[in-house]
Amino acid sequence: MKFRDGMWLVAEGMKVEYAEGVHEITETERGLSLLCPTTRIRSRGDTLNRSCITIDIQAEFDGVISVEATHWGGARRLGPNFDLYPTGKPAVDAKITRGPKGTTLTSGSLSATIHPDQHTFNISLDAADNSKHLTSLASRSVALAYTPAFNNELVTEDMRAIKHYMLTQSTLSVGESVHGLGERFGAFNKVGQSVQLWNADGGTSSDQAYKNVSFWLSSRGYGVFIDHPGKVDLEVGSERSCRVQTSVEGQRLKWFVIHGPTPKEVLYKYGILTGRPGTVPSWSFGLWLSTSFTTNYDEQTVNSFLEGMRERDIAVDVFHYDCFWMKAFRWTDFVFDSDKFPDPKAQIARLKASGLCKKVCVWINPYIAEAGEAFAYAAEKGYLVKRKNGDVWQWDVWQAGMGLVDFTNPEACEWYVGCLNKLFDVGVDAIKTDFGERIPTKDVVWFDAQADPERMHNFYTFLYNKVVYEALQKRYGENEAVLYARSACAGTQRFPLTWGGDCESTPEAMAESVRGGLSLGLSGFAFWSVDIGGFEGYPPPWIYKRWVAMGLLCSHSRLHGSGSYRVPWTIDEDDKTEEGCSRTLSKWTNLKTRLMPYLYQQALESVESSVPVSLRAVCLEFLDDPTSWYLDRQFMVGDKLMVAPIYEESGEVEFYLPKGKWTSFFTNEVKSGPGWFKERHGFGTLPLYVREGTVLVLGSKEARGAVYDYARDAEICLYQVSGGETAKLVDNQGKEIGILEVGADGKVKGTEVLKGEWSVSESGRDVDGDAPSSIESL
């Protein structure tokens, strides 16, 4: 939302009043409270008939300071609110000093300094050791605004027809870039964009997003978390080119400045504030196969899919039943379609016993169709959101007469968990929590009388996913719960995992998805997936195979479509050649299986650090390389592997390697960065480069599926090591079983924890026996 028409004029229909100075500074328990009139006070008469903005600046914990701007403090503080500091708030040591540069509040590594001249409005945020200026609230950067505009203040006697906004503008330095704000599919660097944080079901090819996260990361070593679960409008260098403007409707606007100084440290501290990602089990990293959405399927179809995958040497760890496991017009009533699945419990048990899959997932959403068994009971008990006249809130969008589960009602949550437990009794192990974006804000009454409908819109997804995730934890164990969620807001990273939503079957959509995954990873989410092959449309074989290569290098990998199946033999008429879809999928699935010792160890580290496993933006590892902040077509898997997906049918790809020596995973060819490179690939490879100084543990070539003994028949691959490099080895339950370390003599120590016929490869990995690699340098 823009409040000005260029630099000099106020936008038509807007009345904007800026804090023009700091009239008083009052020390508080953890900081400073600033009284800021919207005019310069030269005489006592200037204090009359003027608005003031109160700015409260508080030390939160080491390197974190909050800033809250308030116009009328008498406004009710309605909920919901973000669940901050879920594991406890760290101790804080707030220091206040006064000197010639002004009044300074210091919180560990971060300081905020108020200009000493009360007529000069400037709050400077800096590294406490004065090593770096981060950002400022400079002249005309904190304001209140009304629309429609008026000339007579008496009209504010009745605010029902007047909208009131609070806005702040933090400065952008020369060359500064901004990233994050959830899963956004446009340009990776958000400078120049208008961004609205409002969850919407808009696909992956628009400015709408399923996962709006009110946190952004700056290339200058800080981040900003906006503590407002409702609609937030940002003008990121798009109203004033040198500022990030944040605005909300209401009387208050609060945000937290988080100093790193590295981006990883920023994400770590953001994790303290809003919560760390949950741990996911090793089986979830294997291949997930779906029925797809509107396709026809029944028990026989499911069996044929899984048997066909086994025949083609493609291990499926999780089978997913999408929407039509329930009858049409009855979603979500939690009842299997008895015509298609006469005995789901027995079928699921047979699938697992036969080894065709390890786990089973089903699709649900929080919308309850009127024709389903669940609606009448939920409506009678008051478990559904209501209209202001007392009716159940219903519409015919998506499902006929659907209502919405009211997760602010504890009894509704308990009922919903009971419905989930019936699924768990049948043998369901994981839940795809779809939707949660179309949450009404008009003519709505929540069970919690303090819940503001506008604030509930984005926050609903937190409550929805929390209920399902904790139900899974209670049934299967704390670290065995897995969601497949589409919507999210700040804090939802605690309930992994998410996927990228409805993308088209095009190379452009694959690139959009990569940008979305990168942005979400810089918003505190450790795990992410995508619909391999694209959701909408019918992918031609070349797109399917390129997407398979990218998708099997995401932290989690799922084959899923809309109106067409994604089993490989339906894509290319069952081409059985080495370059066909089936062999391509088999090779990439088996490669991910071999990478599991590395992937799972990296995943456990990501849970502690709030840094993404994959897709991991290159800037997290190479923050001092300016190019890394603009790389949005490639990503890292953990901190050792660089991946460049291929978006061309020809197999041509251009990618960047930062400073250092990089070894091709497929050929052991070494390239030196920094620099751009071009290659042409067949379907069995892509640019997958290993960082120098890496000890890469690969699992057995004979392993199938993500869960096996990672220490048995392992290959220890050394990449440009010089001594002292290590690799932590964990088992498939996440327990550390040893540390492998390269000695000064180049030999690997700690191998006593390895089992079977393990080996060490001193110059990359052993490529003997691999399928021929078709890689051409251009």
Ramachandran angles phi, psi of 300, nearest 5°: -65, -40
**Number of other CB atoms surrounding residue 442 within 10 Å:** 9
Please check whether residues 231 and 249 belong to one and the same domain. Answer: yes
Average pLDDT over residues 736-740: 97
* 529-550 pLDDT tens trace: 999 999 999 999 999 999 999 9
Domain boundary residue among 542, 574, 609?
Answer: 609
Does residue 286 surpass a pLDDT of 90? yes
Average pLDDT over residues 603-607: 98
Find how far residue 694's CA is from the centre of its chain: 27
Give a three-class secondary structure readout of 368-397: ECCCCHHHHHHHHHCCECECCCCCECCECC
Does residue 772 surpass a pLDDT of 90? no
Asked if residue 397 is part of any domain, the answer here is: no
Mean pLDDT of the chain, nearest integer:
97
- Cα gap 25→42, rounded to integer Å: 17
- Cα gap 605→600, rounded to integer Å: 9
In the annotation, is 502 catalytic? yes
Per annotation, catalytic residue among 239, 434, 632, 713: 434
Handedness of CA 756, 757, 759, 764 (dihedral sign): negative
What percentage of the chain has pLDDT greater than the value 90?
99
Please check whether residues 231 and 358 belong to one and the same domain. Answer: no
Per annotation, catalytic residue among 60, 201, 370, 437: 437
| In the block, residue with structure tokens 């939802």 | 492
Asked if residue 734 is part of any domain, the answer here is: yes
Please check whether residues 28 and 92 belong to one and the same domain. Answer: yes
Please check whether residues 251 and 321 belong to one and the same domain. Answer: no
Token representation of residue 344 = 């789901």
Average pLDDT over residues 155-163: 96
Asked if residue 496 is part of any domain, the answer here is: yes
Please check whether residues 166 and 252 belong to one and the same domain. Answer: yes
In the annotation, is 624 catalytic? no
Please check whether residues 550 and 635 belong to one and the same domain. Answer: no
* 69-116 pLDDT tens trace: 999 999 999 999 999 999 999 999 999 999 999 999 999 999 999 999
- Cα gap 219→261, rounded to integer Å: 10
**Sheet strands side by side (includes 715-719):** 694-698, 715-719, 759-761
* Beta bridge partner(s), residue 102: 99
* 186-219 pLDDT tens trace: 999 999 999 999 999 999 999 999 999 999 999 9
Contacts (Cβ under 8 Å, ≥6 apart) of 749:
740, 741, 742, 743
Domain boundary residue among 556, 578, 609?
Answer: 609
Asked if residue 499 is part of any domain, the answer here is: yes
Asked if residue 685 is part of any domain, the answer here is: yes
Does residue 774 surpass a pLDDT of 90? no
What percentage of the chain has pLDDT greater than the value 70?
100
* 49-70 pLDDT tens trace: 999 999 999 999 999 999 999 9
Please check whether residues 558 and 680 belong to one and the same domain. Answer: no
DSSP string, 422-488: HHHHHT--EEEE--------SS-B-SSTTB-HHHHHHHHHHHHHHHHHHHHHHHH-TT---B-BS-B
At residue 633, the pLDDT reads 98
**Number of other CB atoms surrounding residue 758 within 10 Å:** 17
Asked if residue 392 is part of any domain, the answer here is: no
Token representation of residue 418 = 């009971």
**Which CATH number do you get for residue 19?**
2.60.40.1760
Does residue 325 surpass a pLDDT of 90? yes
**Which CATH number do you get for residue 478?**
3.20.20.80
Please check whether residues 563 and 672 belong to one and the same domain. Answer: no
Please check whether residues 87 and 165 belong to one and the same domain. Answer: yes
* 403-454 pLDDT tens trace: 999 999 999 999 999 999 999 999 999 999 999 999 999 999 999 999 999 9
Residue pair 620/636 in contact (Cβ under 8 Å)? The answer is yes
- Cα gap 9→269, rounded to integer Å: 39
At residue 773, the pLDDT reads 84
Domain boundary residue among 609, 638, 671?
Answer: 609
- Which of 164, 258, 175, 248 is CA-nearest to residue 215? 258
Helix, strand or coil, per DSSP, at residue 282: helix
Torsion of CA 654, 656, 662, 665, to 10 degrees: -40
- Cα gap 409→417, rounded to integer Å: 13
Using CA atoms, how far residue 722 sits from 394, 640, 719, 738, 745, in Å, is 66, 16, 9, 21, 9
Token representation of residue 354 = 């036969």
Asked if residue 528 is part of any domain, the answer here is: yes
Q: What stretch of H or E contains 321?
A: strand 318-321
Q: Which segments of 62-191 are extended strands (E)? A: 64-70, 94-99, 102-107, 110-114, 123-127, 133-137, 142-147, 163-171, 178-182
- Cα gap 89→82, rounded to integer Å: 14
In the annotation, is 766 catalytic? no
Asked if residue 189 is part of any domain, the answer here is: no
* 160-183 pLDDT tens trace: 999 999 999 999 999 999 999 999
* 216-267 pLDDT tens trace: 999 999 999 999 999 999 999 999 999 999 999 999 999 999 999 999 999 9
- Cα gap 282→732, rounded to integer Å: 6
DSSP string, 533-558: T-SBS---HHHHHHHHHHHTTSSSEE
Strands 318-321 and 359-364: parallel
- Cα gap 262→268, rounded to integer Å: 10
- 367 CB-side CA count, 13 A: 22
Please check whether residues 514 and 651 belong to one and the same domain. Answer: no
Domains contained in the chain, number: 3
* 678-721 pLDDT tens trace: 999 999 999 999 999 999 999 999 999 999 999 999 999 999 99
**Domain assignment of residue 596, given as a range:** 282-364+427-443+453-609
Exposed / middle / buried, residue 160 (Cβ in 10 Å: 0-12, 13-18, 19+): exposed
Radius of gyration of the chain (CA): 27
Residue pair 170/258 in contact (Cβ under 8 Å)? The answer is no
Please check whether residues 169 and 306 belong to one and the same domain. Answer: no
Please check whether residues 574 and 468 belong to one and the same domain. Answer: yes
Per annotation, catalytic residue among 201, 502, 512, 692: 502
**Number of other CB atoms surrounding residue 563 within 10 Å:** 12
- 164 CB-side CA count, 13 A: 14
